[in-house]
Amino acid sequence: MNSVISILVGILMFSVIIVIHEGGHFYAARFCGIPVKEFAIGMGPVIFKKQGKQTLFTVRAFPVGGFCAMDEDEEAVDENSFRSKPVWKRMIVIVAGAFMNLVLGFVIAVIFHLVSGIGITSTIAAFSDNSASQKAGLMINDDIVKINGMRVFSSGDIIYALRSDEDGVIDFVVRRNGQLIAINDVRFEMEMSEQTQKPVLKYDFKVYSEKITAANLIPYGFKTAAYDARIVILSLRDLIRGKYGINDLSGPVGIVTVISEAATPEGIDWDFILELAALISINIGIFNLLPLPALDGGRFVFLLIELFRKKQLKAETEGMIHFVGLALLLILMVAVTFNDIKNLAKRSDADERASVRICRTYETGGISYAQSTAR
């Protein structure tokens, strides 16, 4: 029963994220005086519709997307049409969806910390027995500032930096008694990952946790949202560089499956669902800003070109470019969905539950934290 509820929560979560995204476009368009033909939740056949004064509101059969239909790919016919508006107004409308996803991600991150009641610091609290990092010079109460040159803002950054390392040799910069101290060539033990069958660094220290208060709630929410954004950008970079392939991508089917595994005999792991929802919302926001045809970022690029050329590209030409981009994105979505279904068919509950939690800052595969906040 809990698994069914988790799946429904996953579908609802996607719907809310899409509604917020398209709602950003909708209200920005209304603010700029641009009529919206249709505001749709979902894709495919219409199962519910309601005609407003200017807009047709619809709910469609498949909850995997949505759209806010304006006359973007049509030549200007009157003063209220999209292409007749100043460039700066059209830019606001185009980026509003992604902006709202980033805001939603931050809000969910704040709710996550409010519900969990715990914030994870980047300050070392304890070491395991025979800790290599302690022998190399790290000390309790050291605040980790950099790892291999990467600036650390949150405990999530520590996890990403350590898990991304391939040889187990780490350079640290820590803040100790107000001074920055470099501790280089710290050699960690490597162990074979059961999920990836690749060697991964074995953590040998813990970091402090602290209770969430009115004073630190917003800062922790911001840190979590910023970490999610950073992870998305770095992952896109790694994807472009070829570090990840099509088999490493996941779509709605795969993500809803992961959410379903937040259900245990004891109940549903709402902390995990909230943390994942924040990541997905920020991921969608950033992905939509990529300068690719059919995406908001691609449309924004055309507006930048128009701004410098002082001339619009023909609506038919721009529409065709976005149509080709959309077709390619749909092909990618089909491929990713097929990959999700293939992985689902051979999924092992016990092993997969461990692997999907590696994005968390204090679960299996992540760095441990010390419950005590005393330093």
Cβ burial of 181 (10 Å; 0-12, 13-18, 19+) is middle
- Active-site residue list: 22
Print burial letters for 44-77: b (CB count within 10 Å at least 16), e (below 16). Answer: eeeeeeeeeeebeebebeebbbbbbebbbbeeee
Q: Give DSSP secondary structure letters for 72-129.
A: TTS---STTSGGGS-HHHHHHHHHHHHHHHHHHHHHHHHHHHHHH-EEEEEEEEEE-T
Q: First CA to last CA across the chain, in angstroms? A: 43
Cα Rg for the chain, rounded, in angstroms?
23
Vertex 27, ends 64 and 294: CA angle to 5°?
45
Q: Please state, in angstroms and rounded to a whole number, the distance separating the CA atoms of residues 277 and 311.
A: 40
